[in-house]
Structure 1
Amino acid sequence: MTRLPLVAPPVAPSTVIAHTTAPAVHTAASGGGTTLLLGVLSGAFLAALITASINIWLARRKSHEEERNRLRAAFAEAFATYSAYKELPYAIRRRRADQPAEERIRLSETLREIQSRLAYHQAWTLLESPTVGAAYQNLVDRLRATAGLAMNQAWTAPPLDNDAGMNIPPSVIDLRPLREHETAYLNAVAAHLKDLKPWWSA
C-alpha cells in the first residue's frame, strides 16, 4: 500500500491575519509614543536653551552697563578734581584777612591734596585710554599754566576785607582759555564710552 506524504494542515486565513497584523498595530502605537516623547523632550530642551541664552544676554548687558557706569563716574571724578584746582585762585583771593598764617596752611594743604589727586587721575586715565589720558594730561598742563599763574597773583594780592570784593571779574582771574581743553577732554571721554557700548544695546 502506498503511503501518502505528510502535509501540514492548512491554516485558516483569519488566523494568519491575526498573527501578522497584531505586531504592526503594536509597533505603530509604540512609534507614536516615542515620537511624542521626543517632541516633548525637544521642546523642553529648546525652552531651556532659549532661557539660558536670554539669561546670558541679560548678564552680559548688565556687566557692560555696570562697566560703563564705573568708567563714567571715574572720568567725572577726574574732571571734578580738575575743577577743584581751578577754583583755588578764587579761594586764595577770598582768604580771611584776620588769620593769615592759618589761611596759608589751610590753602596749602588743600592744594597739596588736589595735586595728589590730579596725579592719580592722570595715571589712571592714561592706563584706561591713551586718547582720554592724553586729553586729560593736556587739560591739566593748561590748568597749571593758567590757574597756577592766577594763584601766584592771588597770593601777592591783599586778602579781601569787604563783601563787594567777593565778586571777582574775569579781568582779575580769567580762566576762559581752559574751556576748549575741557571740551576736548569731555569729547574724548564720550567717544571712549561710545566705543565700549555693545551693538545690541543701541
Structure 2
Amino acid sequence: MAIANQITLGLGVVTAVVALIGYWANQHIKRRETKSQMYAAAIQAIHEFEELPYIIRHRKSSGSEVRAELAEKLSGVFSRIKYHQTLLNMDSPVVGQAYTDLFTHTRRHAGPHRKEAWNTPPVTSDDQMPGAAYYPYDNSHEIEVCLLAMRRELNPWGWLSRPFTHRRIRKLRNNRPPYREPEHMRQRRAEVFRNNG
C-alpha cells in the first residue's frame, strides 16, 4: 500500500508542477503582450514628438485659432511622453532611464526645429509641399539603446537581467559615436534650404 500512496503522491506533485509551469507561462505571455504594447506606444509618442515641427511648418495659417490648436497638440504630445516616462520608470528603472535619455536627446533637436518651423511662413501652395521642411534628429543611437532595454525586459527572466542590461546600456551610452549626418541627408538639407532661401 505504501508504494501505491507514493505513486499517487508523486503524480499529484508532477501534476501540480505542470499546472504551475503552465500558469507561469500563460502569465508571462500576457505580461509580455501588455509590455510590448506599452513599449510601442512609448516609442510612438517619441515619433509624434519628432513630427511636431513638420505639423507646425505645414499649418493652415498663422491665425490665433491655428496657434491654439497646435499648442493643444504640442501639450498632448508632451503629456503622453511624460505619462510613458512615469509608466516605464515604474515598470523597469532600466527601461525608464533609457526612454528618458531618448527623450532628452530628441528634445535637444526638437526645440530649435520647432522654433524654425514657427518662424517660417505657412505653406500656401501645393508646389511648396515637397521638400518644404527638413528636420533631422540625431537620436538613432538612443532609440537602439532604448529598444535593447525593452527587448531584454520582455525576456521571461528580464527582471533578473536588469543589472546586466543597466551595465550594457551605460557602456553603449559612453561609447556613443559622434553624430555625422549621412551624405544623402546633407544633400537633402542643402536642397531644401536652396529651395526655401
TM value normalised by structure 2: 0.71
> What does residue 103 of structure 1 align with?
66
Taking the aligned partners of 2:18 and 2:136, their CA distance within structure 1 comes to 51
The answer on whether the counterparts of 1:96 and 1:103 sit within 8 Å (CA) in structure 2 is: yes
Q: Deviations over 1:127-181 (max 9, x none)?
A: 3222222211111112222122111110110101122322336xx4232412222
Secondary structure of the corresponding residue to residue 139 of structure 2: helix
Question: CA 1:108/1:129 → structure 2, altered by over 3 Å: closer, same or farther?
Answer: same
> What does residue 107 of structure 2 align with?
144
Larger C-alpha radius of gyration, 1 or 2?
Answer: 1
Q: 1:184 aligns with which of 136, 139, 145?
A: 145
Structure 2, unmatched stretches of 5+, are 160-197
Please give the root-mean-square deviation of Cα atoms over the aligned residues, in Å.
2.4
The answer on whether the counterparts of 1:64 and 1:197 sit within 8 Å (CA) in structure 2 is: no
Question: CA 1:115/1:55 → structure 2, altered by over 3 Å: closer, same or farther?
Answer: same
Secondary structure of the corresponding residue to residue 150 of structure 1: helix
For residues 111-190 of structure 1, the aligned pairs below 5 Å read: 111-168=74-131, 172-190=133-151
TM value normalised by structure 1: 0.69
- Give the drift of 1:120: 1.7
Secondary structure of the corresponding residue to residue 123 of structure 2: coil
Aligned residues: 160
Deviation larger for 66-75 or 103-112: 66-75
> What does residue 93 of structure 1 align with?
57
What is the aligned-residue identity percentage?
A: 26
- Give the drift of 1:188: 1.7
> What does residue 193 of structure 1 align with?
154
Higher relative contact order (CA 8 A, sep 6+): 1
Secondary structure of the corresponding residue to residue 135 of structure 2: coil
The answer to whether structure 1 residue 59 and structure 2 residue 23 are counterparts is yes
2:93 counterpart letter in structure 1: P
